[in-house]
A and B are shown apart, each in its own frame.
Chain A
Amino acid sequence: MSVFGRLPRRPARTVASALLITSTLGLAAAPVNADEITFWSQPYGDLLEWKRGMNALADAYEEQSGTKVNYEVLNWSVAFNTWLTVAQGGAAPDCADMYWLHSFSAIGGDQYGPLPINEYKDQWPDLDKNFYSGSLQDSHYRGDFYGIPWRGDVRPLMYRTDLAQEAGLSGAPQTWDDLVTYAKAMTARDDNGNVTRWGMSPGSEIVTQAYIPYYWQAGGVFMTEDGKTATIDNDASIAALSFIRDLVWEHEVVSPEFMEKSYDPESEFLAGTLAMVGSTPGAWPGRLQRENPDLDGKWALAVPAAGSAGRDAYAGSGYFGVLRGTEKVEQCVGWIKFLSSPENMQKLSEASGNVSPRRDVMASDFWSDTDWKKVVGETLEHQHTSQHPSPAWSALINDEPGSVVYDMMYEAIIQKQDVKEVVQRAQARMQAELDRVSK
């Protein structure tokens, strides 16, 4: 007996009517209540704790204001594509936890994407006093106010204290020279001379972000404040690129594969095949503490080592903002205001493990109860925003071949081409990218 014996006699007609029913079903979407808003956020920290925390906040807000917040987790694996579709008119929530304001604003224009909320700015009277200025920059674009920064990602140095001690080194590396000393001492080789543990990785697997603080530490800036002129053809570029190149080839303490996609510093650090990360994403230490008790007492954070011009640390941030197309701007602003109160910002920071852009949260007990948290606080004093005033920025520092910064790093560091020429080429390419959005 064939399984198809049970199928309707006329598949063609059946399918056609099925399609018809489908489309009517789709059109009859449920009416949306006026006192409901949808809110998306990416997840942070411990997944369960985060979801529970957000739902509790949403419930509390509903009780207080009567507005129901439909909370959705927008996972990181789909976040970028989703925001890109949102900026082109795809399905969007009323408000959300967002990032990369500059690029998404440029893509969405005045039709889609992030919505400026200048007229509500006076709801937060002491913005400048309460928030770190670096993070405020990330929720402003071309003079407009888009929302409230709520999380920071500041990147200190992380290293294995037990291995440093074994090598007779105490305290944290303070300068670039120290980095070389420490990395050399902690690099281990087997009898055949193969490296079994690398002394250092410049940063996380997002190698272009890893490079950025070294350039700042050498005294460089990427572009002028209007975002129109590229400024990387200078000695700072040469110093930063040469330093990392030497770590790879002369001192042999950084894996020559560190720029390849298959290289994963976090897994290497956990497996003990990597001893130091020059610029560590904010989420790592919290994860280490939570999930790897086996490494307790064997690692520490430190303020990034100083180059010739300072100890600048990479800092990124995210903000709560409103999306174009919503009819509920006021309800959204109310919800964001609720979230940005000191108590709730404290809760968000504790649940996510992210540093808070609010000074009072960073002064709280939570951020001083362990050594590594204190270091995170100290590193904040050296934070340097990773957002730049050009919408082309995210394309410039994309961490795959083809982006200006990636190619510059690859040519100078991995392929050991003449650094001066590499930098000159990169400057020309970067200028062309900046011109792209304005001419």
Chain B
Amino acid sequence: MFVFTIRRILQTIPVLFGVSILVFLMMHLVPGDPAQVIAGEAASPQTIEQIRERLGLNDPLPMQYLNFIMNALQGDLGTSIRSGQPVSEEVFSRFWVTMELAFYSMILSAFIGLIAGIISAVRHYTIIDVVVMIIALFGLSMPNFWLGLMLMQFFSINLEILPVSGWGTPEQIILPVIALGTAGAAIIARMTRSSMLEVIGQDYIRTARAKGVKERFVIYKHALKNAMIPVVTVIGLEFGTLLTGAVLTETVFSINGLGRFVVESIRARDFPAVQGSVLVIALVFILVNLIVDLSYRFLNKRIDLN
């Protein structure tokens, strides 16, 4: 387990390296002169030269990368062109909003998804299973931004019981979390169901029944604990999806989080801001995947028959 942990951590290093290169190159892959692009069509040569100087675009590319990565390691993600503020400050002031949104959505997804999945599996071959799975399929097929708009229209505009936008108060949290969490709930429900069905068919479940264990405990004590192992992985991976789904949800509900910041920076062609926030989101995602992988391995240790 220790060796595996170390190996798995070492494995992320080339990925981190690749990600940083890709993020760095983002600005340079733009057709034409990045300084020109940032400054806009009408900019004077002096302005362009200024930008070039400020972003260090006159240095050779490897040098620029080295600077980029050294600065990033020290928490310096450059300066936002739009606001003139350090990108790291811009990013971290919004970071926790997005993390909160993703986290609450994950809780909701996991809660609804697990319950629905278990019910579906236990009621296999019945109409309940069919109905739950059809709802899940709908949840999976709905764009979260559209769901957000519809929820907003119904609860905020028609019923006027929840606020239209913003983040912070409990009322403000409800709609974005539902909008963002629905697809995840559907995925987790489907995964839980198939995992439960597989486990329920296992020999040790038959053993539990033959021992005289009550059906309720067969499901919740013997089956669920085993079925949870792959589900935990899915829940963990869902966090990454939620992190980016926030891009759309934050836009819909005008939440001042990292996702909306990315979109606005892209629109403004504020490259340092885009690079900085994309880098941070990717890092969180890699970290979450690492944790999920390790915990799966840990949970699965006892299952590994050979």
**Does A pair with B?**
no
Which residues of B are interface residues toward A (Cβ below 8 A)?
Answer: none
